[in-house]
Amino acid sequence: MADPALSHAPQPDGATGVLVLADGSVTWGRGFGAVGAAVGEVCFNTAMTGYQEVMTDPSYAAQIVTFTFPHIGNVGVNAEDVESHGVAGEVLGAVGCVVREDVTDPANFRSTGTFQQWLEAQGKIGLSGIDTRALTRRIRLSGAPNAVIAHDPKGKFDIPALIERARNWPGLEGMDLARTVSREGNEEWEGSVWHLGEGFTRPEAGTRPHVVAMDFGAKDNIFRNLVQAGADVTIVPAQTTLEAILDLKPAGVFLSNGPGDPAATGAYAVPVIQKLLERDVPIFGICLGHQMLALAAGARTTKMHQGHRGANHPVKRLADGVVEITSMNHGFAVDNAALPDTVEETHVSLFDGSNCGIAVKDKKAFGVQYHPEASPGPQDSFYLFEKFVGML
């Protein structure tokens, strides 16, 4: 059911952008960034900071992000905060964003450019002047809709065609997006975490355990945290075979975050992970990687009504009751009502009780649904990287 505040209205003067939902709702605004149209699932993110990190997270592939915080773009952009780099150097992540206020000139000492210019260069569409509260309410009530976001400086739009495009898009359920955002070849990762005034630091020399990271659409900061925790990292594509992984002689295997339906990606990834579990290889999974591990251990995943996306999600660690403030971005979840006896639930969301962590019994294998590398706590969850490297 369409929200009354999002119903079809005549195009107002000065409208150069539009968001068209699959149910026929049309919302007018002011376009910025790239010119054109893009289709995806509309979600909302409640974070007050980190919009560039959000827009470059490959987990947001085929999604249009509604930012609930009104002031997006006001600190500009810089190369250090980009979280992904595609095959040809392009930035992966969300196809577009919806914001309340017009983007102002940046006011931050780290800024090297404007958000508007950066979006245009990356082929991503922005839409301002939107009642983001109404749109967020619509998603909370009716679920994340399919939509088209469009920008034309001349304000010329074929609304019936855009509605049809939104309706014909199949949606994320059943969609394997990991292979579209994964690296195409192996990569030896270099560099550790970022420090103010120093940039990305280098690891200390010495013997370090070797981690092979399966890239389902990883954020770069995950690899930096693995290095910070004491590992050397080799990144491999999502569809890497068991034999190719074992040839690299890993002390452990990391399963990265990524977009799309975990069941679809699991068609080729789960058999590999199951064989790694049989060989007692230590495994650590984040987000989609957490879901891949769960599927490999006999659990199942489900599509969420609205998903979890933000930097303020409280997660309870069941072993000791400690609450971690976490960053999340996921529209699917491990079904904690159907965990097999071989899987222990280790973390739960304090928002809705959904699963946020598992451990495979009698194995050195665990995963979390949230993003410990995003550091919203800010250091609440770094122990997970140390725990994994300590197993190796």
**Hey, what domains does the chain have and what are their CATH numbers?**
4-168 (3.50.30.20), 178-391 (3.40.50.880)
Share of the chain above pLDDT 90, in %: 89
Mean pLDDT, rounded, for 293-307: 97
**Residue 193: predicted pLDDT:** 83
In the chain, beta strands by DSSP E: 17-21, 26-33, 36-45, 63-67, 96-98, 125-128, 146-151, 187-188, 194-195, 199-200, 210-215, 232-237, 252-255, 283-286, 301-317, 323-334, 343-349, 355-360, 365-368
For the record, the structure tokens of 350 come out as: 């304090």
| Catalytically annotated residues | 287, 371, 373
* Residues 6 or more apart whose Cβ sits within 8 Å of residue 117: none
Residue 3 has pLDDT above 60, yes or no: no
Work out the pLDDT band at 378, boundaries 50, 70, 90: confident
How is 222-235 classified by DSSP, letter by letter? Answer: HHHHHHHTT-EEEE
Q: Which two tokens stand for residue 341?
A: 């006896």
pLDDT at 359 over 70: yes
- Per-residue pLDDT, 23: 95
**Cα–Cα distance between 223 and 269 in angstroms, integer?**
20
Name the percent of the chain lying above pLDDT 70.
Answer: 96
pLDDT class of 25 with cuts at 50, 70, 90: very high
Q: Out of 43-57, 242-256, 341-355, 370-384, which region has the weakest mean confidence (pLDDT)?
A: 370-384
Task: For residue 77, give the DSSP letter.
Answer: B
The pLDDT value given to residue 89: 56
What per-residue confidence (pLDDT) applies to 341? 97
d(Cα 370, Cα 347) in Å, to the nearest integer?
10
Q: What is the 3-state secondary structure (H, E, C) of 103-145?
A: CCCCCCCCCCECHHHHHHHHCCEEEECCCHHHHHHHHHHHCCC
Asked if the model's pLDDT at residue 4 lies above 50, the reply is no
For the ranges 39-48, 158-167, 169-178, 205-214, which has the lowest average pLDDT? 205-214
- Asked if the bond preceding 378 is cis, omega within 30° of 0, the reply is yes
- How far apart CA 187 and CA 209 sit, in angstroms, is 16
| Alpha-carbon span 72 to 88, nearest angstrom | 27
Say if residue 46 is exposed, middle or buried (CB neighbours under 10 Å; 0-12, 13-18, 19+). middle
CA distance 244 to 215: 14
What mean pLDDT is predicted for residues 351-370? 98
Q: Are 273 and 283 in contact (CB under 8 A)?
A: yes
Of 100, 103, 84, 98, which Cα lies nearest the Cα of 40?
98
Cβ-based neighbours of 12, under 8 Å, separated by 6 or more: 28
Asked if the model's pLDDT at residue 157 lies above 50, the reply is: yes
Mean pLDDT computed over every residue of the chain: 94
CA 284/CA 346 separation, integer angstroms: 13
pLDDT at 277: 98
pLDDT at residue 5 is higher than 70: no
State the pLDDT at residue 1. 42
Span of 58-62, 195-199, 219-223, 333-337 with lowest mean pLDDT: 195-199
Tens digits of residue pLDDT in 172-230 = 999 999 999 999 999 999 888 887 888 787 777 678 999 999 999 999 999 999 999 99
DSSP-based three-state secondary structure for 174: coil
pLDDT at residue 379, as a whole number: 85
Rounded Cα–Cα distance for residues 355 and 313 (Å): 13
- Residue 32 predicted with pLDDT over 80: yes
Once rounded to an integer, what is the mean pLDDT over residues 268-290? 98
pLDDT at 195: 79
Buried b (16+ CB within 10 A) or exposed e, 69-108: beebbbbbbbeebbbbeeeeeebbbbbbbbbbbebeebee
User: Is 1 or 63 the better-scoring residue by pLDDT?
Assistant: 63
